[in-house]
A = this chain, B = another copy of it.
Amino acid sequence: MSEVIGTPFPTIGIMGGGQLGRMMALAAIRMGMAIKFLVPKQTGGTMGLGTTHVGDWTDPAVLNEFIDGCDVVTVESEWAPIEAVENLGTSIPCYPRSSTLSLIRDKGVQKTTLKEAGLPVPPFACCSSYTEALEYAQGSGFPVVVKRYKGSYDGYGNATAHSVEELKSAWSQLADDNGVLVEAWVPFTRELSVLVARTPEGDHVTYPVAYTEQKDHRCHAVEVPTVIAKATEQKAVEIGLGAVEAVDGIGLTAVELFELEDGSILVNELAPRPHNTGHYSIEACFTSQFENHIRGILNWPLGSPQLRVPCAVMVNILGHRSQQVESDSVRESLKTDDVSVHIYGKEETRPKRKMGHVTATGDTLTDVRQKAELAASTIIL
């Protein structure tokens, strides 16, 4: 069966078994590497790829078995406890480091770190009491965005408060022992993303600035190249790289940005791992974000992040029904030319869960967008 046998080729340990770990594995296997996954429970995404250990990923016994034979350990989510591996006292490198994750997991710490590094972020305050939050909101003016410090994503754990009443309600829902993060509402015109791959020695490459379109607080589509003023693009890349250096990100780190009407750029937030906004890179770039993540954590030379096609559009496939995925609609979607369909193999479909994505490539954004939307909307999972 699929036992990993020791070879002089690196073995990559991945904590987490969702689509990001899966796509890391596909890139690494192509380069001759072996994969070990560690997941708290089996969810299907790693089926048929590498060896999967299922167990409590904070338990030293489980972890010791997992890291045996690994040349490096990484995570597919900022919530995977890589500190538990570091605490084993192993000499196996762990990237991203827990010190990076701890600067990112808490949104208050993350924003403070970025601000102290001189990076532009929306005005914010870490408010430990409702009174503080109210004072901040009244000072900056409503609306404000209230964020839970930990575990907020895709519209969960966030609220926009337009009034004192809404602020009160947001506080009661989102505050933990340390309170909440309150941000001034920023009138951004669109969201952009910059991906940075970086080695432990600080070598780095930055991917093209991507336009990320949100629907319902979720990433719906990503377009590259972004139609953008040269100066704004350059600023976005500089700020993205600065943000990644501020948290000492190693491997792939994604930087979500706001673009304002006057062309100024603010950092929204960081993800210390390959990111939904970089999936297009599998087909569209000389080196995908997943390959550069693997190369980065191994301290191998990074590959070119440039586009090798004129343009690309990625559209997410979200779950519709709470049952197993069906392949008929995938078959149907392949009648659309020039698209690559990615299905993540998750056993359970939940409404709005990311079940796959489609990337189309071609000569013009309009044409490519149309194909990606058509193929993605045909797939009903």
- Tell me whether A139 is interfacial, beta carbon within 8 Å: no
Which residues of chain B are within 8 angstroms of A44 by Cβ–Cβ distance? 5, 7
Number of interface residues of A (CB under 8 A): 57
Which residues of chain B are within 8 angstroms of A34 by Cβ–Cβ distance? 47-48, 345
CA distance A33 to B334 in the complex (A): 14
- Tell me whether A202 is interfacial, beta carbon within 8 Å: no
- Tell me whether A142 is interfacial, beta carbon within 8 Å: no
Which residues of chain B are within 8 angstroms of A26 by Cβ–Cβ distance? 26, 29-30
Contact across chains for A48 and B35 when beta carbons are under 8 A apart: yes
CA distance A342 to B27 in the complex (A): 10
Integer count of this chain's copies in the complex = 2
Which residues of chain B are within 8 angstroms of A47 by Cβ–Cβ distance? 2-5, 34
Given the known interface contacts A338-B286, A338-B308, the answer about A325 and B7 at a Cβ–Cβ threshold of 8 Å is yes
- Choose one: B8, B331, B337, B347; the contact of A7 (CB below 8 Å): B347
Which residues of chain B are within 8 angstroms of A309 by Cβ–Cβ distance? 308-309
CA distance A335 to B214 in the complex (A): 36
Q: Which residues in chain A, 29-63, are within 8 Å of chain B measured between CB atoms?
A: 29-35, 44, 46-52
- Output the least CB separation between A373 and chain B (Å): 17
Which residues of chain B are within 8 angstroms of A331 by Cβ–Cβ distance? 298, 300-301
- Choose one: B2, B341, B345; the contact of A48 (CB below 8 Å): B2
Contact across chains for A327 and B32 when beta carbons are under 8 A apart: yes
Contact across chains for B29 and A334 when beta carbons are under 8 A apart: no
- Tell me whether A10 is interfacial, beta carbon within 8 Å: yes
Contact across chains for B1 and A325 when beta carbons are under 8 A apart: no
The chain B residue with its CB closest to the CB of A5 is B47
Contact across chains for A327 and B10 when beta carbons are under 8 A apart: yes
- Tell me whether A70 is interfacial, beta carbon within 8 Å: no
Contact across chains for B48 and A327 when beta carbons are under 8 A apart: no
List 23 A-B pairs, Cβ < 8 Å. Answer: A1-B51, A1-B52, A2-B47, A2-B49, A2-B51, A2-B52, A4-B47, A5-B47, A7-B324, A7-B345, A9-B343, A29-B49, A30-B340, A30-B341, A30-B343, A31-B330, A32-B344, A35-B48, A301-B334, A301-B335, A303-B337, A308-B338, A308-B362
- Output the least CB separation between A199 and chain B (Å): 12
Which residues of chain B are within 8 angstroms of A330 by Cβ–Cβ distance? 9, 31-32
Contact across chains for B343 and A31 when beta carbons are under 8 A apart: yes
